[in-house]
Structure formats: C-alpha cells, structure tokens
Amino acid sequence: MQIDDDHSLQSVDLVLDLVEQLAASPRQLGVTEVARALGISKARAHRHLRALVRRGYARQDPATERYEIGVKLLPLGEAVRERFGVLDAMRPQMARLREATGQAVTASVLADGAVTVLEMLPGRTLI
C-alpha cells in the first residue's frame, strides 16, 4: 500500500510541477521541452499533458502541437483570491495611490521564493 501511495504522490507532484511550468512560461512549450525540464520521459510528459488538456487546465495549439496553460485555471485563481481578506483592506489604499500617481498599483506576495500578484489596478497612462 505504501508503494502505491508514494507513486500517487509522485504523480500529483508531477502534475503540479507541469501546471506551474506551463503557467510560468511566456510561450507555448513542446513535449520535449516539458520532459527535459521535469526530468521525465516524453511519453510520461505527453500522458500528463493530455490529461490536463482533457480537463481544461492546459491547451494544445492545433497548428504547432505545443502546450500552454488552460483557461480553466482562471476561475480557480479568482475563487482563491477572494479568500485573502487582506486584499479587502488593501484595495481602497491601492485605489487612492493610483488616483494620486496615475500609475499602476500592484499587491504581491513572496511565497516559496516566487512573487505572486494578488491584485493589480491598471494605471491611467500607458507607462
């Protein structure tokens, strides 16, 4: 039983690593790139990517056959973001700062060595 549990956890870890890799990439990725980055076989990468595509968490471009993050993650992110009560307190301050400067205002958090944007108010100018 322990072996099955370890294998299941490795698969979950792999899928999450895959989602994070697709989300962090500014461009679409091929199976070979994904497999190389994660240190797995192309067949294994392809299986997991296909599962993510079926569920809407990844998208495959029919013309290039390359992968990118799927739109299904947007509502999940929005649902989670609303749980951070600190944003409710920050939004009025962010709006005042934007009005005073005309610039974009961003609330971010550093988690596990990476910056995650929690809220962004666009500026009044292009720059």
Q: Is the pLDDT of residue 13 over 50?
A: yes
pLDDT tens, residue by residue, 98-109: 999 999 999 988
3-state secondary structure string across the chain: CHHHHHHHHHHHHHHHHHHHHHHHCCCCECHHHHHHHHCCCHHHHHHHHHHHHHHCCEEECCCCCCEEECCCHHHHHHHHHCCCCHHHHHHHHHHHHHHHHCCCEEEEEEECCEEEEEEEECCCCCC
pLDDT computed for residue 80 by the predictor: 78
pLDDT tens, residue by residue, 51-93: 999 999 999 999 999 999 999 988 888 787 777 677 888 889 9
pTM of the model: 0.63
